[in-house]
Amino acid sequence: MATLENEVKAVKQRFEIIGNASNLIHAIETAIKVSPTDINVLINGASGVGKESISKIIHNLSTRKHGPFIAVNCGAIPEGTIDSELFGHEKGAFTGAVDKRKGYFEAANGGTIFLDEVGELPASSQARLLRVLENGEFIKVGSSQVQKTDVRIIAATNRDLLERARESKFREDLYYRLATVTIAVPKLSERKGDIYLLFRKFATDFAEQYKTSLVQLDEEAQQVLANYPWPGNIRQLKNVTEQICVLEQTPLITKEILLRHLPKVNKNLPVLFSGRGSEDMSERDIYYKVLYDLKKDVNDLKQVVFGMLSTNNDSSFKQPGHDVAIKQAELRILNDSPNIEEQPVSSLPDVHYQSPSEDAQEHITIDSDDHVQYDENFSLEQQEINMIKKALLRHNGRRKKAAEDLGISERTLYRKIKQYELD
């Protein structure tokens, strides 16, 4: 244990890694342990956390340290040329191929190739990469000759590759080939105790580079620095530190000065009912959240309306409390935001309800007195259409006013008009 601790300290000093967070130390320890082997490693972490630094640790502590190390950003290479970049091409293989060219896998023979953002590889490249992982073979673009290469592959991603595999965007067999060992690099927000240490390191470096005074943060500014979410991670912290060093004339940075250099972060993002934070939400999770809220709104509306329909067909049917509840439920369904219930009642449109007659039509209709009539099998879509029509009629076709009346954005109203062909 003591030996491993000493190795970690030596690695941190050699590769200028700042921080003492336990999750960061665990990532470094794992990199040290796997470096003498040739097994494939998958590094997981958000953009800007320093995944390439972990790959360099593995390479420089391995038996391949005297061989080449090539880092490739798979997301930055156009899909049409990535096979040529990775595996090379023959002369005349495609328009513009005036000469044969070595690919990265051929050039990295005997060394290590680091595939950053490997989840962005197109399907054809994934199949070629799988062949390299299985038997060390590849074929250049425009060639039929099989070539051999001896490279160690370290991949990195900021995406959930298994999720992408379920969406048929990434090969599951390729994932298991790449992820023989996985290393998770923590976000900067998960290393709060390291944030100020990193700031001081960057501030010292920039003071020497730009020949300026060394800046320091007061106690309040340090708290702001530690509590900021840092969506861009270490890369963002470095950029903010550089701005402060260049633009500020005072060596003591206060909370007010620091806040001028920190972009505002929207903290009112949707949160899943499972309790996970919004930072962990995928696009699919957000869709599930919206659908869950929509289902809840529909059930609430049905409960209120069916309760009213079960009452007698006299004047007691129309109760103010029920009107408000239905209006709120209707507008929550029509609006994209689940927080429509926070709007004041005075902003809701004046909709009147009548009990359905025996010969009621199949859908909702608006009578000559501008009343809305429902039958027991009303259509929610038709109800939405009639509400939009009524709002537009009330405001003589002025969509901005109609949107305000409905409690939705003007953009949402335009989309609904186009959807229902109400032009």
CA distance 112 to 147: 17
Q: Are 21 and 28 in contact (CB under 8 A)?
A: no
Numbered ranges of CATH 1.10.8.60 in the chain: 189-260
Q: How large is the greatest C-alpha to C-alpha distance in the chain, in angstroms? A: 91
pLDDT of residue 350: 47
CA distance 364 to 354: 11
Helices 219-227, 192-210: axis angle to 10 degrees equals: 110
CA distance 170 to 335: 35
CA dihedral 343, 345, 351, 357 (to 10 degrees): 100
pLDDT of residue 313: 45
Q: Are 109 and 151 in contact (CB under 8 A)?
A: yes
Among residues 357, 351, 374, the alpha carbon closest in space to that of 313 is found at: 357
CA distance 82 to 109: 18
Fold for 2-186, please state it: Rossmann fold (3.40.50)
CA distance 220 to 369: 63
Tokens 């599930």 label which residue? 288
pLDDT of residue 158: 94
Numbered ranges of CATH 3.40.50.300 in the chain: 2-186
Helices 283-309, 320-334: axis angle to 10 degrees equals: 150
Q: Amino acid identity, residue 278?
A: S
How far CA 343 is from CA of 325, 337, 409, in Å, comes to: 12, 11, 13
| Parts of the chain with a pLDDT under 70 | 1-2, 266-290, 292, 303-379, 423
Tokens 């082997």 label which residue? 37
Among residues 214, 188, 192, 218, the alpha carbon closest in space to that of 203 is found at: 214
- β 372-373/365-366 pair status: antiparallel
pLDDT of residue 345: 42
pLDDT of residue 376: 46
Q: Amino acid identity, residue 418?
A: K
Q: Are 27 and 54 in contact (CB under 8 A)?
A: yes
Among residues 326, 340, 274, the alpha carbon closest in space to that of 298 is found at: 326
- The pTM of the full predicted model, rounded to 2 decimals, is 0.62
Q: Are 114 and 156 in contact (CB under 8 A)?
A: yes
Q: pLDDT tens, 37-79?
A: 999 999 999 999 999 999 999 999 999 999 999 999 999 999 8
Among residues 191, 180, 174, 150, the alpha carbon closest in space to that of 39 is found at: 180
Q: What is the CATH code for 189-260? A: 1.10.8.60
Tokens of 417: 């008009």
